[in-house]
Amino acid sequence: MATEVTVPVLGESIVEATVGEWLKQPGDPVKQDEPIVSLETDKVAVEVPSPVAGVMGAHAVQVGDNVAVGALLATVEAGGAAAAPAPTPAPAAAPALAPADTAGQQAPASGDAPAALSPSVRRAVLETGVDPGTVKGTGKDGRITKDDVMAAASTPATPAPSAQPTPTPSVAASTSRKEERVKMTRLRQTVAKRLKEAQNTAAMLTTFNDVDMTAVIEARTKYKDLFEKKHGVRLGFMGFFVKAACMALKDVPAVNGQIDGEEIVYHDYADISVAVSAPQGLVVPVIRDADQLSVAGIEKTIGDFGKRAKDGTLKMDEMKGGTFTISNGGVFGSLMSTPIINPPQSAVLGLHRIEDRPVVRDGQVVVRPMMYLALSYDHRLIDGREAVTFLVALKNAIEDPTRILIDL
């Protein structure tokens, strides 16, 4: 008897998703509650578990298809391995390339089915020419990740011994250029739409400042081992910046507000959205009541977000809301940027890389670890004076972390 697997309820106002990756192929044994397919929504990837134990039946939809809540995804056949469908005999002459994938490109032939690889992994396989059948997966349940493919590509292959030298072909090397079309993920489509709406709606402006990171670096170096031993999490820079931002938001409430129709909404709390990396792109979970948390509490929350973003287990409710956003492009090497507001918020803080630069202190030119700060804001609500005041308050707190302890 076959049990149908359908698209579950995905959350408030979400009625559709995109099939991102099949985790089980027809004929694979399946345990009850074991994930069989990953769906991409506007905000996160959601894994759909099997309602029963048995054998994976036919897929009703393909990777890249849009599916509505309640739509049929696949079936799970009752029974054990004996109930698995008989394998299809291999053709007498195997083609040089595997069938084309959902993006319209041909994937390299290998022991792994192309559908078992996520879109980013398939893209890396196409770009590098690595045979995924030779790659050992380090992801969840042994799945191959993009980093696994890139690592395999950077490892020189050992050529197999040849009994006779291979004659050099006289035909000139191909100069053809290739293109690949990959359907935008639902998350990327939503990000693109929201960012363009922000540009079209807000009177967006960016103001800059720089901050001397000497004091924070010294504090982190001095206490990082004790901090990790006591709290079980590494002491980073984000904890300092979130606390400093919360203090500055109290001094300049407009930066923590938003426009709702003809009204301005001011928040007496700080729910800080933080951008973290996920396999499908950047996601922005929210640290609730960040102004009430300690540096340790903030670092624990961010660490948990980062881990679950990579595992694809962040919940949609954790992405909603937020009164102010911090985006750290410095971890990718960014020197300076103009971040875009995350509506309906009115401001976003961009952090950048730390680099040694000459600065003047007490009449002397010295080298200090400096970082550029960028505050993009909606000029309809926030004046230039308020934006500069916010950045100066943030700068003062980072350059003298004692201010954070005494709330000054």
> In this structure, what CATH number is given to the domain that contains residue 133?
4.10.320.10
The answer on 326 and 265 residing in a single domain is yes
Distance separating the N- and C-terminal Cα atoms of the chain: 68
| Structure token digits, residue 194 | 């929201």
CA dihedral sign of residues 228, 230, 232, 237: negative
The answer on 56 and 10 residing in a single domain is yes
Does residue 367 contact residue 358 with C-beta atoms inside 8 Å? yes
In a domain, 180, yes or no: no
For residues 404 and 189, the model is more confident at: 404
> In this structure, what CATH number is given to the domain that contains residue 233?
3.30.559.10
Q: How confident is the model at residue 190 (pLDDT cuts 50, 70, 90)?
A: confident
The answer on 138 and 66 residing in a single domain is no
Task: Give the number of domains in the chain.
Answer: 3
DSSP per-residue letters across 165-212? PPPPP-SPPP--------PPPHHHHHHHHHHHHHHHHS-EEEEEEEEE
DSSP per-residue letters across 2-68? EEEEEPPP-STT--EEEEEEESS-TT-EE-TT-EEEEEE-SS-EEEEEPSS-EEEEEESS-TT-EEE
* pTM exceeding the 0.85 threshold for the entire prediction: no
Closest CA to 286 of 265, 304, 261, 264: 304
> In this structure, what CATH number is given to the domain that contains residue 23?
2.40.50.100
Q: Which of 28-32, 65-69, 402-406 tops mean pLDDT?
A: 28-32
Mean pLDDT of the region 41-50: 79
Report the C-alpha gap between 23 and 7 in whole angstroms. Answer: 15
In a domain, 402, yes or no: yes
The boundaries of the domain holding residue 222 are 205-406
The answer on 357 and 239 residing in a single domain is yes
Closest CA to 344 of 250, 260, 230, 408: 260
Output the average pLDDT for the chain.
Answer: 83
Q: What is the pLDDT of residues 338-376, one digit of tens each?
A: 999 988 999 999 999 999 999 999 999 999 999 999 999
Report the C-alpha gap between 270 and 292 in whole angstroms. Answer: 9
Q: What is the pLDDT of residues 297-336, one digit of tens each?
A: 999 999 999 888 888 788 878 888 899 999 999 988 999 9
- Does the active-site annotation cover 383? yes
Report the C-alpha gap between 209 and 21 in whole angstroms. Answer: 43
In a domain, 311, yes or no: yes
Closest CA to 95 of 83, 107, 80, 85: 107
The answer on 223 and 323 residing in a single domain is yes
In a domain, 193, yes or no: no
- Does the active-site annotation cover 379? yes
The answer on 64 and 123 residing in a single domain is no
Report the C-alpha gap between 137 and 276 in whole angstroms. Answer: 23
The answer on 392 and 273 residing in a single domain is yes
Per the residue annotation, which of 251, 379, 400, 407 is the catalytic one?
Answer: 379
